[in-house]
Amino acid sequence: MSLVVPTITADGSLVYPVKKGDKWHFAGQEVNLSFASCDPAKDFEDGAMISGSLIVLCAVAYGFRILNDFIKRMMIEKYHESETI
């Protein structure tokens, strides 16, 4: 509730959130705060899935780089063999 910006109404009064005990009030009415459920295990699973995908993607990219270097090396060797014949 600390992020709620005070507002000036059409009649010129200032409306802002007020904490009375454990309850918040806004414009004279009690505010019922509800928060989304938090499941740390689910958050961990989501993070593991995303990071696992990124690791696989990096491994595939690295494999293509190694394969590309191998093909270039083989072509250079083949070219040098054809020059000597």
* Average pLDDT of the segment spanning 56-63: 98
In this prediction, residue 84 carries a pLDDT of 66
- Give pTM, 2 decimals: 0.51
- DSSP structural state of residue 12: S
Better pLDDT: 53 or 8:
53
- DSSP letters for 19-68: EETTEEEETTEEE--------HHHHHHHHHHHHHHHHHHHHHHHHHHHHH
Taking only the tens place, the pLDDT of each residue in 21-56 is 888 888 888 988 888 888 999 999 999 999 999 999
